[in-house]
Structure 1
């Protein structure tokens, strides 16, 4: 029997269209242009991950980058899983894989992400990640709703670390 993590790895540019579709179908994410996912996987593949099915097709993704002013901090930009694969722990497995890969290179000590108040699935995902890695989690308002040019909930910054 295979495990979820056997199919998680770095994305390629060719994954861009499928990842864009996963983001669009999630109904949770702010969907970027298809072009942005191509660029992301060209420039930030090392700090991102794609989960694949047995045929190699993407079924989930995580995009991230290291903060320029704090290169030991990984910012998770987006994370999503196809509808059929939700609720099976795949998002957590992608986070564990990605952070494990970067920690093995001694370049990661902390994780950051932003989450809106209505996104309880992401809140639980990152709370569980912090518990699994026995790392403290701090939450604070980063972007108030009035900063967004269109209707948008505030975004709260979740800081997790130091990672053990």
Structure 2
């Protein structure tokens, strides 16, 4: 058995449900993860508070290194919408994004979830890599459709956001 002092040097992030007090740390993390769109600190606090059961925070030695904000769609309880994924440079390459997605899906709040959805701009390579990997793990191809369009939704100030849908593997859907 390892001595507790030795465990402090282990580089495995701890995943947990966020608290409202985590909002400022989440805001700082998102700001450090370009090109992510920044929300207000208040928005991140509300996400941590009101949507805590479908969001996840990753900590490594007391530092917030990962965050996913998500919610079950109010008009479609079979769908978990992933709003934002942020992973600090200190925690990249560990598969943390995939691990955080799986953590959320295993919670009681996602019991009826059968698919995840997110939106991704064409140039967000990190998000494409994460969701392609997650799709492969589910044995599911990505269904990709332009959704929030540059001209009609963003007044040409933001790239089109493509809606990505990934059906969950039957075993994961049943476990959730």
Q: If the length of structure 1 is used for normalisation, what is the TM-score?
A: 0.90
1:45-84 alignment runs, 5 A limit:
45-55=52-62, 57-84=63-90
Q: Could you report, residue by residue, the CA deviation over 1:65-93 in whole angstroms, capped at 9, with x for unpaired residues?
A: 11011012100000001122122211111
Q: Helix, strand or coil: the match of 1:145?
A: coil
Q: How many residues align?
A: 161
Residue from 132, 137, 151 that aligns with 1:132 = 137
Tell me how large the CA RMSD over aligned residues is: 1.8
Q: Could you report, residue by residue, the CA deviation over 1:73-120 in whole angstroms, capped at 9, with x for unpaired residues?
A: 1000000011221222111111121122258x6221110000000001
Contact 1:112 1:157 (C-alpha < 8 Å) held by counterparts: yes
Change (3 A) 1:23 1:17: same
The reply to whether residue 20 of structure 1 matches residue 27 of structure 2 is yes
Contact 2:11 2:60 (C-alpha < 8 Å) held by counterparts: no
The reply to whether residue 142 of structure 1 matches residue 166 of structure 2 is no
* Match in the other structure for 1:108: 113
Q: CA–CA distance in 1 between the matches of 2:102 and 2:140?
A: 13
Could you list the structure 1 runs, at least 4 aligned residues long, displaced by more than 3 angstroms after superposition.
1-5
Contact 2:53 2:107 (C-alpha < 8 Å) held by counterparts: no
Q: Could you report, residue by residue, the CA deviation over 1:120-139 in whole angstroms, capped at 9, with x for unpaired residues?
A: 11011001001112234211
**CA-CA distance at 1:9 after TM superposition:** 1.6
Q: CA–CA distance in 2 between the matches of 1:106 and 1:78?
A: 21
Residue from 123, 127, 141 that aligns with 1:122 = 127
Structure 1: give runs of 5+ residues left out of the alignment. Answer: none
Q: CA–CA distance in 1 between the matches of 2:76 and 2:168?
A: 13
Q: CA–CA distance in 2 between the matches of 1:94 and 1:4?
A: 12
Q: If the length of structure 2 is used for normalisation, what is the TM-score?
A: 0.84
Structure 2: give runs of 5+ residues left out of the alignment. Answer: 1-6, 171-176
